[in-house]
C-alpha cells in the first residue's frame, strides 16, 4: 500500500522548491516530519527477536501523533474505523 511518506519522498523536494517560500512554516515542518519519520535521518536501534534471536533494526519515529506511522491510540482507533 502506498503511504503519504512515499509521495513526499518522491515529490516533496520538488514541491518545496516550487512552493516552499509561500508555504506556512508549519506545513514545511509537516513535510519534513513526514519525510524523516522512521528513516535513517532519525536513527534507530537494534532489537533481538525473542523467538529466533535474530537482530532486528527499527528506525526511530518522529513521535508526532498525527502521522499514521507513529503508534498512538487515536491512530489505531481511526484505522479500525477505516476497515
- pTM for this entry: 0.65
* Total structural domains within the chain: 1
Q: Are the CB atoms for 31 and 12 separated by under 8 Å?
A: yes
The whole-chain average pLDDT of the chain stands at 83
Domain of 52, in residue numbers:
4-82
pLDDT tens sequence across 53-69 = 999 999 988 888 777 66
Identify any residues that bridge with 47 across adjacent strands, giving them in sequence order. Answer: 56
DSSP line for 42-69: G-EEEEE-TTT--EEEEEPP---TTSTT
Amino acid at each position: 500500500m502506498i503511504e503519504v511518506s512515499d509521495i513526499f519522498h518522491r515529490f516533496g523536494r520538488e514541491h518545496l522548491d516550487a512552493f516552499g517560500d509561500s508555504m506556512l512554516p508549519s506545513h514545511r515542518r509537516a513535510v519534513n516530519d513526514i519525510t524523516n519519520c522512521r528513516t535513517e535521518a532519525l536513527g534507530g536501534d537494534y532489537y533481538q527477536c525473542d523467538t529466533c534471536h535474530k537482530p532486528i533494526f527499527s528506525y526511530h519515529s518522529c513521535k508526532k501523533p498525527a502521522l499514521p506511522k507513529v503508534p498512538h491510540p487515536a491512530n489505531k482507533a481511526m484505522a479500525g474505523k477505516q476497515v
